[in-house]
C-alpha cells in the first residue's frame, strides 16, 4: 500500500514571496504519477501540477514547480511570486501507473493536506 505524508499542516507566506510545500511518499512501485491539487476556500478541487515518475525533469506550470527526488521519495511544490488567490488547501497525491481494466490502477492516495495562507 502507498502512503503520502505532508508534514506541514499550515503555512503562511507574504504576497510576492516564494513558498515550498513538502510531500514524501512511500511505495514499492517503480512507475507512478504524483500530483498536487489545490482546494480554495469553498471552491472545487483542481489539479495544479503532475509528475510522471519515469521523467527526471521536474514539472513546471507557470509559477508552480516541483522538486521531484525519486530516490528520496520526495515531491515538494514551489510557488513563486505568491498571490492572494493561492490561498487554499494543497494536497499531494499518488497514483500507480497501470492498465485501465484492472480497476485499482486509477486510485489516488492523498496526503493530509497543507493549508496555505497568502498575506499582504
Partner 1 sequence: DVKVTQSSRYLVKRTGEKVFLECVQDMDHENMFWYRQDPGLGLRLIYFSYDVKMKEKGDIPEGYSVSREKKERFSLILESASTNQTSMYLCASSSHLGEQVSYEQYFGPGTRLTVT
**What's the number of CA atoms in the CB half-sphere (13 Å) around residue 38?**
16
Using CA atoms, how far apart are residues 26 and 74, in angstroms rounded to an integer?
9
Q: Binders of partner 1: how many residues, by CB under 8 A?
A: 30
Which of 20, 24, 50, 74 forms a contact with partner 1 (CB under 8 A)? 50
Between 4 and 88, name the residue whose CB sits nearer to partner 1: 4
Tell me how many degrees the CA angle 23-86-34 measures, rounded to the nearest 5.
30
Tell me which residue of 44, 22, 40, 11 sits closest to 118, measured CA to CA: 11
3: its cell numbers: 502512503
Does residue 24 interact with partner 1 by CB under 8 A? Answer: no
**CB 103 → partner 1: shortest distance, Å?**
5
Which of 20, 33, 58, 74 forms a contact with partner 1 (CB under 8 A)? 33
Tell me which residue of 46, 82, 80, 84 sits closest to 64, measured CA to CA: 80
Does residue 41 interact with partner 1 by CB under 8 A? Answer: no
Stretch touching partner 1 by CB under 8 A, among 21-29, 44-52, 61-69, 80-88: 44-52
Interface residues toward partner 1, by CB under 8 A: 4, 6, 9, 33, 35, 37, 43-47, 50, 91, 95, 97-101, 103-113
Amino acid at each position: 500500500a502507498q502512503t503520502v505524508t505532508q508534514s506541514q499542516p499550515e503555512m503562511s507566506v507574504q504576497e510576492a514571496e516564494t513558498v515550498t510545500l513538502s510531500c514524501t511518499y512511500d511505495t514499492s512501485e517503480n512507475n507512478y504519477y504524483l500530483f498536487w491539487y489545490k482546494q480554495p476556500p469553498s471552491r472545487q478541487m483542481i489539479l495544479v501540477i503532475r509528475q510522471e515518475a519515469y521523467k527526471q525533469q521536474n514539472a513546471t506550470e507557470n509559477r508552480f514547480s516541483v522538486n521531484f527526488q525519486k530516490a528520496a521519495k520526495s515531491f515538494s511544490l514551489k510557488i513563486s511570486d505568491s498571490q492572494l488567490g493561492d490561498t487554499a488547501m494543497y494536497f499531494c497525491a499518488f497514483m500507480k501507473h497501470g492498465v485501465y481494466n484492472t480497476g485499482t490502477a486509477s486510485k489516488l492516495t492523498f496526503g493530509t493536506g497543507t493549508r496555505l495562507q497568502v498575506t499582504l
